[in-house]
Amino acid sequence: MQQKIIILDFGSQYTQLIARRVRELNVFCEIHPFNKIPAIGSDVMGIILSGSPSSVRQADAPEVDFLQFHGKLPLLGVCYGAQYMAHKMGGNVMASQTREYGRANLQYTNSLNPLMRDIASDSQVWMSHGDTIKYIPTDFEIIGSTDTVEVAAYQIKNTQTYGIQFHPEVTHSNDGKQLLYNFLVNICHCKQDFTPDAFADETIAALKLQLGNDKVVLGLSGGVDSSVAALILHKAIGKNLHCVFVDNGLLRKDEFELVLNSYQHLGLNVKGVNAKQKFYDALAGLSDPELKRKAIGRVFIEVFDEESHLISDVKWLAQGTIYPDVIESVSVNGGPSATIKSHHNVGGLPDFMKLKVVEPLKTLFKDEVRRVGRALQLPENILNRHPFPGPGLAIRILGDVTPQKVAILQAADFIYIDNLKKSGWYDKVWQAGAIYLPVQSVGVMGDERTYENVICLRAVESVDGMTADWSHLPYPLLAKISNEIINNVKGINRVVYDISSKPPATIEWE
């Protein structure tokens, strides 16, 4: 049975980052909303209470009965979690006179305490709170302080319950990984056995039990997520997996043929389906990003429903859903985190489609998917392919989608990606793509005035897609790409480069 840590989410946007840091230490974890605590079995080694945008002093503050775990399992409260436990145990949490946000340095640490082991007294930490713990109950012990926050870390005496006012999950907390290691390994006694090979073996075994001799249909996209999902399912059920690759008319230039060819040597049972016109018809006249996503999702379901009826006795629809998809589409497991945008492969199936859903990767972040794929010996050309959105170029064309706009964007995007590959920059950035803007600008070509559209280039650096920074592509390379697009793509007379990070922007424009 896989050991795990449970993270109770109070709505913090940092909650997913806590999960990432725990996973980096090869410990499996799950995020659950504070008000939907799962059954706690012997596989649960400890519990982390997340931060929150709420204040414990609010009448409607999120609450959890942490006393059911206190003294039985190791507990770590982070920011709001620490304030909440102190507040409920009789301490005093007050509004800070000034907002405590940003870098701070520990002035005191109890190096003998197991949570603070190997953390120096001058270690930089990251604060982000409007309240502060003014007084602690008598059975609490301060184990860390800064010059402005006396109760920066505490332990409830004679228990394995801890609270910290800072955020160890952010990189600005220099010894944050060490603190989490201390909690996970030294206090919770986790084995650090959550590895790509272990995940693959356990998932394949679980799929064999779950699916038996049932037939499964999977929509391939050519990307790493659906490819890894397909390979795992193939190893579990073999020829009972039927892969469908749909040409939705929103793929990159020549991608339909290239992707089909890339799967020839993997032994997968793959069928290509041309459904361009169905998607164009569904998108006609739609400009709102959510409406476009939902229309694409609906047609995908319709196409798979049609294809599934051509396979006798198919019972399951497999999807390459990963953790960030779930987090950004709905509050995790019904929790309080904010919805960012809908994903076409998240949210279940309509009643008319009598297929059950299987999502073998839905607990993994993107970098973990790649590591699992490498463990399964997926070819590098698929593993290293940039992420590409499920709705394809439809959400890289701002406004309504037409075949003409798709053709223009495909041509511009091909020039962009081809130059990145030839210059060696493709493997240096995490994701890149061109965006067709609904903006026309005046230009001059020869002696003639032009009034044509704008292409925006986007390239970002990231680990898992949860956060991203724009890539500093060389100016000469950008100039070369711009020149080639303007000279070769009719309808474009201006190229711009996006220098926004995530947050506050998202990687895709829609």
Please pick, among 100, 150, 169, 452, the residue that the annotation labels catalytic: 169
Radius of gyration of the chain (CA): 25
Contact 494, 454 (CB under 8 A): yes
Respond yes or no: is residue 167 known to be catalytic. Answer: yes
Task: Report how far residue 311's alpha carbon sits from residue 19's, in angstroms, rounded to the nearest whole number.
Answer: 39
- Residues with Cβ within 8 Å of residue 53, at least 6 apart in sequence: 11, 12
* 79 labelled catalytic: yes
Give the tokens for residue 464: 């898992």
Could you give the strand order of the β-sheet that contains 270-274, starting from the edge strand earlier in sequence? Answer: 270-274, 241-247, 215-220, 314-318, 356-358
* Annotated catalytic residue, options 87, 129, 167, 242: 167
For 10, 12, 270, 293, 299, the CA distances from 296, given in Å and listed in that order, are 33, 31, 21, 5, 5
Identify the active-site residue in 29, 79, 188, 190: 79
Q: How far is CA 440 from CA 398, 452, 453, 483, in A?
A: 13, 5, 4, 18
Backbone angles phi, psi at 152, to 5 degrees: -85, -25
| Residue whose structure tokens are 């602690």 | 136
What is the C-alpha separation between 350 and 470, in angstroms, rounded?
38
- CA 486-424-415 angle, 5° bins: 20
Q: CB count, 10 Å around CB of 509?
A: 18
Q: Who's near 98: CB < 8 A, 6+ residues apart?
A: none
According to DSSP, the residues that pair with 509 across neighbouring strands are none
**Amino acid of residue 163:** G
Residue 147 in 3-state DSSP?
A: coil
Compute CA distances 404 → 172, 247, 329, 367, 400, whole Å.
Answer: 47, 16, 30, 35, 11
243 catalytically annotated:
no
As annotated, the active-site residues are: 79, 167, 169
